Structure 1
């Protein structure tokens, strides 16, 4: 299967939608670094021109100062003959009259050319490096900022390694082109144009001979671009696949070891590595055929120039149909320039090679940055001000795509300071309902209001600042316990952090850690138990002190004793706050002010714990399951449970 297939390249759609990515790169990011760019360009011009002076001075010295005086020509005439657009009178006015003075003048010009040229080389490198580094920094931060603001469904379809490949490999590849590629392009461009001018000034007929390979090189390079461009796109895709597989496996190393699947995973890594090898080797084979061919064409031009020029000097007149004279010094200068002219022509292939790599990378970067978001925030949206904390769901309907509705016509209200529990079988849409409150997604129909204000009319930062979220899957950032508790509420002192930990029943176990609050938690909190991570997550919510609290199965993965401690802290946290709670363990939410029961994305029951038990419906049956009264459950409930489980498993496989 081709790596360009959509299932192999998760960014295929984004990449194809990116229009003129390299043009956008320079217009949107290059314009911010104009000074560095201009410095690099100007310094490149002067540095290259100064590097061309020594061969000119050598040729002049041979023809006017070295050898038999009878064959020599005036210094000013020789120098003017090799400098385009410069008259011998002007040269005579600035050069000494005697041979000794002219000799030391030549030495001084060569020394000055190297010295001043070195200064321009430094300025050129500073300009291009500054230009490339600033763009690399800006585009990486902008890409990350855009990425983290995309909808959650985008991340559901993409793997971390694939996105890391864009933020790291693709951005770095742009930097290499902007620095090395652009630097080389202008340097070689100046050399080719300047040398061509010198060659035509010295002998236009021999210059045409030197130019013979140029159209052949141009045609050859054009074909190379057509062949290599799709190959580099495949390479970028394969890199993302490798990164994704490695990131997945390293993150799940414990499961791999406990499942004894090291060999299986090694085979899977070998498969994606082989895909990368095949795509990269295809590009390499194309490159290693291209560059030697360019050298052959370049060598052809040099050989022709040497034969024609050598015969010209040796015979004292132009061979075949060539006319005029060619002095030995001119021929030496011509040969030196021809070598410098032909080699840059061959190096242009390397620059085009870098350009094609950068093009493939920029397509992925801008394709990602152009990814539309379903969350629309008005630029002049007001901040949310929560007074009572009343939350109303009004005829809310939502689906992750147009084909399937997850939440259908949901309506309920929660009074300020009250607790509402969402209950239902797996896949009923409970978590989705609360994600809509956080505007992880926007409703397709209906509205959600806080104190009468539609969530879509307020700024996202103010909305999410007003809501504390404690989930089942607690995430710990690499750092200390203190830093993880304070995450999101950074302007607090140590006393506030300790008080939040005490409220979350976390202070005692934190004190027993090796470094207390300064203990490193490890990657994703691996050094802590599930219950410890959960209590730190609750402490984080306590410190935030939100007006509205969302508890998404906050105690489902802990033991009974730890659940008791967490429940104590949650009771403290939910007091006088509008609270939403999802729980599979119904005992943790039986005291909620209102319980809403969901099935297949719709509300099927609502009321208090006792009222729902009296109805003897879905809630009562779920309660019976947890109470161990399975034999007393109706057969219809068991059959529906089996169908729901099969449906959820099928969706997970898809």
Structure 2
């Protein structure tokens, strides 16, 4: 296996986006073709201005060579390329001041072209960067939840931030430099060939060798940069996880352990990046040596030619001092662009690796199907039917098998069962975070797969266990999703959620900043804000996913009062490990291993002495009276859960 192939395999092994990257063809052409087309005017201005600026940058050297031969040494008549002789002054003093004026004008006008060039390329790069980032994020939002199961937040952030920024660097600095280099090389080579074709071939002799050298560099560096981009995502994931769990780290006294884990991923990034750096630091000096060899050879041949007054070796004709000075200055100007060519290739390879990851994400096959042509959900009674529903994640072991029940409008159905029974998955299907494999979920006889997700989710309110708050004010978080709500409506929702009193006691009331993920508030306060958010939405159907599991008894009482207000006269689904919170539900469905094993009211299920009754006994502290079979089954379920997590 070649070194390139081995490096590629190594990068793919650790890259969570390797599968996506393999599906992407010619990402840079796609980037410019799809995203650059709307901004052709900006880049056209940049290209035209770059051409003008580069040509004006060459003018002082050309004029210097002419002045040396015609004004200072008098060996050639005074003439300017492309300018009729009749337009030129005859007096030497006037010719001298004309040269000075032209050089001055080239600097002034050139500065204006340089400004236009920078504006054009910067505008082009920033517009594309903005569009790519927003499109990437929009695509990410529309992915199935299964996509996020094996992706970490830091890895996704790396694409939206680092990879998109790499594109901007190339489109601005790299593309700008590439066009400037092409103009410089073509213009200088053209003028040198016009001035003295024989010496020009000497000056340009390193170009083929540079091309070969650069090709080898590209083949070696490309897999290295793919591995570097993956490694950046891993570092970001570790840092994001640790910063999000900083309270757990401190309370567990595991700072040294986490420092070691950060050190490990940082060391991996260091070694991966150092592999790319090693190739770069060998390539750039080598490129400069080759370019410098062309300058030395030009100086040697041209200097001997002028010094001896006759053509050396196979060369013929004459070479004036002014022409020799132009060759030396232009050849020196060629050395820097050619050495810069390596930097451009370096930026291009980084950008291509990033573009692969970005377009790999955009082309992800886990996208939810478009529902632009579907009907809007019309809720009348709020009746929900699960009709023989089965579901599995990515054709794996079935998670739900033949789930069948009906909830009439305004009723409350509670889902109960051990961990891993499939309770949350049942409700994820109602929200269409996933689609069923078999059967159907209907709301008022409408298959939810045949209505738009927007109208479906507008009809469903969700209060979960995590009580997620966004960075912003209390008011902003209550009004999230109901952005047009008035202050009075927000306050009424807070009062109904038993949150108004504690909000008034905050330093700035409803304008108090809640901190990152609501860190400045207690768990119960965060939960009541989420309930207020759901109340403000006033949904037809409500989902309560263990909404009181992480709060104390007193807070649970307050939250339960809020929930009673929220669930009144609306179809409600509730998941709860604390069975006392759902014992008054109209219907209780008991799940085990993805199947319905019991259903009925609290009293009926207690009387049946089945799984529900045993779970109730666990929470009532009656462990000694539980049958041995129940304990063994609980032990097997726990073992399966731990094996799945491993």
The TM-score normalised by the length of structure 2 is 0.97
Provide the C-alpha distance between the structure 2 equivalents of 1:98 and 1:326, rounded to a whole number of angstroms: 26
Matched, 1:297 2:287: no
Provide the C-alpha distance between the structure 2 equivalents of 1:333 and 1:440, rounded to a whole number of angstroms: 69
CA contact (8 A) 1:375 1:439 kept: no
Partner of 1:454: 447
Matched, 1:550 2:556: no
Provide the C-alpha distance between the structure 2 equivalents of 1:650 and 1:145, rounded to a whole number of angstroms: 35
Q: C-alpha displacement at 1:619, in angstroms?
A: 1.2
Matched, 1:19 2:22: no
Matches within 5 A, 1:405-416: 405-416=398-409
Provide the C-alpha distance between the structure 2 equivalents of 1:623 and 1:451, rounded to a whole number of angstroms: 33
Q: C-alpha displacement at 1:522, in angstroms?
A: 1.1
Q: C-alpha displacement at 1:628, in angstroms?
A: 2.0
Q: What is the DSSP-based 3-state SS (H/G/I as helix, E as strand, rest coil) of the residue aligned with 2:149?
A: helix
Provide the C-alpha distance between the structure 1 equivalents of 2:336 and 2:504, rounded to a whole number of angstroms: 69
Q: What is the DSSP-based 3-state SS (H/G/I as helix, E as strand, rest coil) of the residue aligned with 1:397?
A: strand
Partner of 2:175: 182
Partner of 1:372: 365
CA contact (8 A) 1:18 1:367 kept: yes
Partner of 1:604: 597
Matches within 5 A, 1:131-530: 131-373=124-366, 375-530=368-523
Provide the C-alpha distance between the structure 1 equivalents of 2:231 and 2:625, rounded to a whole number of angstroms: 55
Provide the C-alpha distance between the structure 2 equivalents of 1:580 and 1:377, rounded to a whole number of angstroms: 27
Q: Return 453-462 or 433-442, whichever deviates more.
A: 453-462
Q: C-alpha displacement at 1:7, in angstroms?
A: 5.4
1:284-328 deviation line (CA, Å, top 9, x unaligned): 111111111111111111111111111111122211110011111
1:96-148 deviation line (CA, Å, top 9, x unaligned): 12212211111111111111111111100000000001111111111111112
Provide the C-alpha distance between the structure 2 equivalents of 1:5 and 1:651, rounded to a whole number of angstroms: 26
Q: C-alpha displacement at 1:6, in angstroms?
A: 4.8
CA contact (8 A) 1:4 1:237 kept: no
Partner of 1:579: 572
Partner of 1:73: 76
CA contact (8 A) 1:4 1:12 kept: no
1:180-217 deviation line (CA, Å, top 9, x unaligned): 00000001100000001100000000000011111111
1:50-106 deviation line (CA, Å, top 9, x unaligned): 111111111111111113x4xx22112xx34xxxxx4xxx43032112212211111
Runs of at least 5 residues in structure 2 that lack an aligned partner in the other structure: 1-5
Partner of 2:3: none
Count of aligned pairs between the two proteins: 640
Provide the C-alpha distance between the structure 2 equivalents of 1:632 and 1:48, rounded to a whole number of angstroms: 90
The TM-score normalised by the length of structure 1 is 0.96
Matched, 1:110 2:113: no
Matches within 5 A, 1:636-647: 636-647=629-640
Q: C-alpha displacement at 1:480, in angstroms?
A: 1.1
Partner of 2:37: 31
Provide the C-alpha distance between the structure 1 equivalents of 2:10 and 2:595, rounded to a whole number of angstroms: 41
Provide the C-alpha distance between the structure 2 equivalents of 1:214 and 1:624, rounded to a whole number of angstroms: 84
Provide the C-alpha distance between the structure 2 equivalents of 1:366 and 1:650, rounded to a whole number of angstroms: 35
Runs of at least 5 residues in structure 1 that lack an aligned partner in the other structure: 81-85
Matches within 5 A, 1:48-87: 48-67=54-73, 69=74, 72-76=75-79, 79-80=80-81, 86=82
Q: Return 10-19 or 417-426, whichever deviates more.
A: 10-19
Q: What is the DSSP-based 3-state SS (H/G/I as helix, E as strand, rest coil) of the residue aligned with 1:446?
A: strand
CA contact (8 A) 2:11 2:223 kept: no
Provide the C-alpha distance between the structure 1 equivalents of 2:411 and 2:45, rounded to a whole number of angstroms: 65
CA contact (8 A) 1:377 1:460 kept: no
- Given the superposition, is the C-alpha separation of residues 303 and 345 from structure 1 closer, same or farther in structure 2, using an over 3 Å criterion? same
- Given the superposition, is the C-alpha separation of residues 7 and 548 from structure 1 closer, same or farther in structure 2, using an over 3 Å criterion? farther
CA contact (8 A) 2:46 2:117 kept: yes
Provide the C-alpha distance between the structure 2 equivalents of 1:576 and 1:6, rounded to a whole number of angstroms: 54
CA contact (8 A) 1:556 1:583 kept: yes
CA RMSD, aligned part only?
1.3
Q: What is the DSSP-based 3-state SS (H/G/I as helix, E as strand, rest coil) of the residue aligned with 1:36?
A: helix
1:156-190 deviation line (CA, Å, top 9, x unaligned): 21111111111111111110100000000001100
